[in-house]
Amino acid sequence: MDLQGFIQTGLATSALLLPFTMALTTLWGRFGLTGKWQLASALATGLVLGGFFMYVQAPPTNLVGWSQVVFVGLVEGLGATGVYEVVKNATAKNVEPPAAG
């Protein structure tokens, strides 16, 4: 796979898998993961989903291929982690305390 094809595949993978990664991260939170563990679950889920998706599209046969699988998984995981943090911080700032009186 050439660099341009790799980048296009990585972007398409991220756009497709990010909602699934975020949904699963929310599900892990419903099962009791909170704080840093839920953040770590976003990274791990993205790594697994992104890496698996890349592996299925082009099974690696050498070190370069495996590097691509890991890189796409890492990009997906870090993207999910970033989105999780942004949403968490945005929702925390928009919560108003109850009015007294």
Mean pLDDT per block of 10 residues along the chain (101 residues) reads 70 79 87 88 87 83 85 83 80 64 52
Q: What is the pTM of this model?
A: 0.70
Where do the domains of the chain lie? 3-90
pLDDT of residue 31: 92
DSSP letter assigned to residue 94: T
